[in-house]
Each structure stands twice: as C-alpha cells, then as structure tokens.
Structure 1
Amino acid sequence: MDRNASAAVMGSIGRRGLFREVEPFSFGWLPVGGPHEIYYEECGNPRGKPCVVLHGGPGGAVNPTMRRFFDPTKWRMTLFDQRGCGRSRPNASLDDNTTWSLIEDIERLREHLGVEKWTVFGGSWGSTLALAYAIKHPERVSGLVLRGIFLLTERELRWFYQEGASMLFPDAWERFLAPIPEDERGDLMSAYHRRLTAQDRRVQLEAAAAWSQWEGDTISLRGPEARPPKFNEEDFAIAFARIECHFFTNKGFFDHDGWILKNIDKIRHIPGWIVQGRFDVVTPLDSAWKLHKAWPEARFDIVWDAGHASTEPGVIDGLVRATEAALVSS
C-alpha cells in the first residue's frame, strides 16, 4: 500500500472521540437569490481557523453533532442548511436548486462572513459538493476533509436506487419498493420523483417516508439509525426525499457523467483527507478508491469496521484526526 493510504484495523483503545458540545456564537439567514434564504451558524473560536461544513443529502440539514468534529478552541466553524433544507426558507423548494446554485451560495456566505479561505468538510453528498466547490473555487479552499465519497455518477445511483445494494438488504428493499407499482419499477428514481413532486401531500409523504427509510436501513453497520428530530418531522422527510430525488434524477446537474474525476487535477495541490468505511453500502468504497488513485496526494484512510454513518467510532476517529491535521496545513 502506498504511503498515503492507511487500512489498519483499529480497536476502541486509542481512537479519538468527538469534541465537547458547543452552541453557535452567531446565526442568521442570508438571502441568496430568488425566494431562497439560507440558515447559517458560526461556532467555536471567532478568531480560529475558518472551516465550512457541508451536510449530506442533498436535502439533509446541519445538526449539533457536526460541530463536534472540530476543536472549538481552534476552529471558526460555519455550518449552513442548503437551499430548501432544515431551517432555510422556503422549505423543500426545488426552485433554482442545483449544484451550481449551492456553490454560489457557499461563495456568498464566505464573502458575507469575511473569510478569505477555508477548510471544507463534507460527507456523502457533502463530499460531492465540497469537491465541486473546490474545483470551481480552488483559490478559496485551504483544505478538504471528506467522508463517504460520492462522485454522483450514474453507476453509483443505479447501485443504490435500482440494483446492487438491494441484494444486500432485500428486506429493506421490499419496503422501498412498496409505494411503487410493479410496472414503474424499471426506473425507480423517476417513479419516486413523480410522487415526491405530486400535488397531494399524502402521496408525497408516503414516498418520502419510504425513500428516507431505505437510507436509514443501510447507513450503518450498527443497524438502522434513527434520524434526529428536525422541527416538523413530516416537513423534514419531504424536504430530504424531494431534494435528494430532484438532484439525482438530474444527475447532479453535472455537464457529463464523471465530471468530478475529470476535473480533479484542478485541486490536487490542495491538502486533503479522505475517510471511508470499508463496508459503506450507500457510497461504496469503489468511488473513494477511484478518487484516491486520481488524487494520490490526499491522505486516504479506510476504516475496516464502519459503514456510511459519520457517527461510527472509526469514522469519528478518522475525521477528528483529519481536522487536527488540517489545522497545521497551509
């Protein structure tokens, strides 16, 4: 194995845990064009090294645990809910909601906060958005800390939403199929998209519950993980599923399949850390491995006893060690 890759089996002894809980020292809503206002918060040390945290989904939201991967005495953390997500307004909106509009939002937020460069932290869809943002604005990125690599390719989408992961979780897959008639199951993302954009809220909610449950059933080696309560649970479920399906049926709004890897040379000079669960079913190791081969300068850690969730002990350890290393990088 090359010098930048690590795949050691680690026990609980010596593993790093999360930092203490912290509350925001500022928060607000930033208008970003059209009807959208994004919720943001800052935590930690106002004079610390700047970073921005990109949540998953698309369609997820920030939560207090995301603040705890960083030493609050040394980092100035910015977290925000992407368009239509969490506390951002309007909820679940698909209007002008694309990868490119989200990248513009990150830049607006950076300028609003007076940050010159920052470390970008993201897992799952957050890793997709972090890589795309860095490719578009490499001069504004001092480091990348990534988890559960998702390149948003057609192959990855088919694996999780059509055929692949279904063979590992046939019981959960039956629940995912349940809202969709057999004659529509040849293209499940499109079938779900029709229901998640339907006028009838009951139809939306049934589809949203099944879509979200499928991810919850497969996310962790420790079993299904309950999502933390998000204000109005129905609103959160619909926003998560609607926005995620919207992005995926549009192939991430990328110009072509494989866009991230084809542009990776633009960011190879940026210090990077990649943490990937060996048994990640949602975003399998194959994508992280391809990113590692295309970007060998980045530190690459395989966690042998982890799946996709950021809260699994080995993933926490890898991410905390990465944020500690990022403190001293350029």
Structure 2
Amino acid sequence: MDAPFYPPIEPHEQGMLDVGDGQRICWEVSGNPDGKPVVVLHGGPGSGTNSMQRRHFDPEAYRIVLFDQRGAGRSTPHVSTLTAEQLATNTTWHLVADMEKLREHLGIDRWSLFGGSWGATLALAYGQTHPDRVTDMVLRGVFALRGSELDWIYRGGAANLFPDAWADFVALVPEDERHDLLGAYHRMVFGEDPELSARAAAAWSRWEGATVSLRPTAVSVYNEPEFAVSFARIALHYFVNDGWLEPDQLIRDAGKLEGIPAVIVQGRYDVVTPPITAWDLYNAWPGIQLTLVHAAGHAVSDPGISEHLREATDLLRDHR
C-alpha cells in the first residue's frame, strides 16, 4: 500500500435534512454516485465530521455519505445553544431514526457502516435495529457504552496510566463531588456560570486528548474551545444517561448481526476504549474479523490504524 489514505476529494452533493424535533442534520455525498453506499458515523458523541473521513474509501468504488449528528458540526441547532432540558430529543435512538431518514432521503436501499469509538456504538445500535439495511461494517476502537467502560475512563481506571492528566481532570471538581465525576462535570458544563462551563468543557476535552494517542502531540483538536464545548456537552448528556441502553445491550444483542460481515480495527494500547470491548464483541458475533494493531492507541493517526482501515474498506468494497 502506497499510503494509508486515498487522495482528497470534495463532495458533489450536500444539504440539510429536517429530521423533526426542530433538528436539521447536515449531510454530504462524495465519491462515485453509482458506487457502494457507505455512511461514516463520527465519534464523540459530538465530534462532528471532517474531510479526512472521506479518504478511508476508494472514491471510484464507494458512494461516501457523511453527516453531522444532532447538535454537532454544522447541524442545527448546535449544542452550544441548548440547555440540558432541550437535549431531550437527542438520544441514541433519535440518531438511529435520523440515519433511516437520511438513507431514505438519499434513495439508498442498503449501506455499509463505518464508525470509530462512539461511531462504533451508533453503528452497533443501528445495525441491531435495522440489520436488513446493513451490507457490512468497519469498526474502530469499539465502545459499547457499558458501565465498566465508563468506569475505566471516567471513574479512575485510566488514571493509573495517566495520573498527571487525571489530577488536572479532577482538580476542577469540589472534593465532595469527586465520587461522581460525570454528574459533577454535567452540572458544571450545563450550569449558569459561562466561565465555569467553558473551563469544565475544556478540562473534559483535555482529558480525552491526553489519553487518545500514544503520541501526546498527535491530536490537537481537543484543545480547541469550540470543539471542546460540543464534545463535552453532548458526551456528558449521553454518558449520564448510559446512552439510553440497557446494561451490556450492544454486546448481548450482537447475535442480531449474524451474517453481516465486519472488520474491527483496534489499537492494542487504546486507553479510551480498551481492547476488551472489541474482544467481547468479536466473541459474541461469529465470523467477523478482529485486527489488533500493536503500538497503537485510540487515534486514527496512531501507527497502523489508518492503514488497516483502508485495508478493511478495500476488502469489503465489492461486497453488496
């Protein structure tokens, strides 16, 4: 393989889709208009799409669909303008329904799902709800939003590897609230003090930025204030509500995906979404492929991750 990414391309179709509840999601299509449809599910939740996500796919073979999930990116209204109460219509199942509306709007019968981290969560939720609409999946850094996963990253597990960054993360929280960091951060980020809200969003984003890559300077977006606000507000809204999922639901119901080909690309040293979740999914979903990438963490930019993602999309490009 000459390079891990295909050359840059621009969308040839884009728009805003009214999905109800006063929400309009921003979408785009690039690549071959007659190619195999694939939808990219961005992470976060709340991270939004970016132009690099088009480059995981052969543009001659794929019809590449990107969209910003509710409240994120260029979709409206943006989460920065909403209160916690106004986010009541932003849940995992609203996003699954939005995907169905977008699929129908674009005239797509079945599509491939490509998602990393939270994007993998959403891919599993959609696939288990609409397996007949899925040709195959490519998942990276699998996150199933289980209590054990939230415990690891937000309740002290990962602190054993990043004690300095963890100290910064908890420093903003009063000592008598540190038993519930998710609740404390939710209160601060959605509170009425705009200065504290901005500081809390920045601290939330810096914590993931510190743990996301084996190369600490590799991912700088987490330090951008606008990104931090969207990332923190939507993520906290989802995590304090356990993603509106039953315990272990996405692993428990993996059997609903039987017969759907899938490739998992997982960093061996992924601190944000440790490999145990990918391993549990692999064992619950017969016939799928799991690639553990050594010397890689969570970030797409870590060595080997993007190369294996391109191999996966090339492997599946002729599967319909």
Q: TM-score range by the shorter chain?
A: over 0.9
Return the TM-score normalized by structure 1: 0.92
- 1:311 maps to a residue whose letter is S
Secondary structure of 2:215 counterpart: coil
The correspondence of residues 275-290 of structure 1 with structure 2, limited to 5 A, is: 275-290=265-280
- 1:262 maps to a residue whose letter is R
The correspondence of residues 113-128 of structure 1 with structure 2, limited to 5 A, is: 113-128=106-121
1:223/1:229 Cα in 2 relative to 1: closer, same or farther (>3 Å)? closer
1:209/1:225 Cα in 2 relative to 1: closer, same or farther (>3 Å)? farther
Task: Check whether the contact 2:43–2:116 (CA below 8 A) recurs between aligned residues.
Answer: yes
Task: Check whether the contact 1:15–1:317 (CA below 8 A) recurs between aligned residues.
Answer: no
- 2:277 maps to a residue whose letter is S
Task: Check whether the contact 1:15–1:314 (CA below 8 A) recurs between aligned residues.
Answer: no
Task: Check whether the contact 1:30–1:37 (CA below 8 A) recurs between aligned residues.
Answer: yes
1:76 match:
63
1:244/1:269 Cα in 2 relative to 1: closer, same or farther (>3 Å)? same
**Counterpart-to-counterpart distance in 2, 1:229 and 1:268:** 36
Question: Which residue of the other structure, out of 45, 67, 89, is the alignment partner of 1:58?
Answer: 45
**Counterpart-to-counterpart distance in 1, 2:243 and 2:11:** 31
The correspondence of residues 1-330 of structure 1 with structure 2, limited to 5 A, is: 16-92=3-79, 93=82, 94-228=87-221, 233-254=224-245, 256-330=246-320
Secondary structure of 2:89 counterpart: coil
Q: CA deviation at 1:136?
A: 0.1
Which deviates more, 221-230 or 269-278? 221-230
**Counterpart-to-counterpart distance in 1, 2:206 and 2:99:** 29
Q: CA deviation at 1:16?
A: 4.8
> RMSD of aligned C-alpha atoms?
1.4
Secondary structure of 2:142 counterpart: coil
Return the TM-score normalized by structure 2: 0.95
**Counterpart-to-counterpart distance in 2, 1:285 and 1:170:** 21
- 1:27 maps to a residue whose letter is Q
Q: Can you list the C-alpha shifts for 1:118-153, whole angstroms capped at 9, x where unaligned?
A: 000000000000011000000100001000000100
Secondary structure of 2:112 counterpart: strand
1:6 match:
none
- 2:256 maps to a residue whose letter is K
Task: Check whether the contact 2:142–2:277 (CA below 8 A) recurs between aligned residues.
Answer: yes
- Give the gaps of 5 or more residues in structure 1: 1-13
**Counterpart-to-counterpart distance in 2, 1:277 and 1:283:** 9
Task: Check whether the contact 2:142–2:278 (CA below 8 A) recurs between aligned residues.
Answer: yes
- Give the gaps of 5 or more residues in structure 2: none
Secondary structure of 2:166 counterpart: helix
Secondary structure of 1:204 counterpart: helix
1:229/1:246 Cα in 2 relative to 1: closer, same or farther (>3 Å)? closer
Displaced runs of 4 or more, over 6 A: none
Q: Can you list the C-alpha shifts for 1:149-207, whole angstroms capped at 9, x where unaligned?
A: 00100000010001110110011111111211111100100000001111222121111
Identity %: 49
- Give the number of equivalent residue pairs: 314
**Counterpart-to-counterpart distance in 1, 2:222 and 2:278:** 30
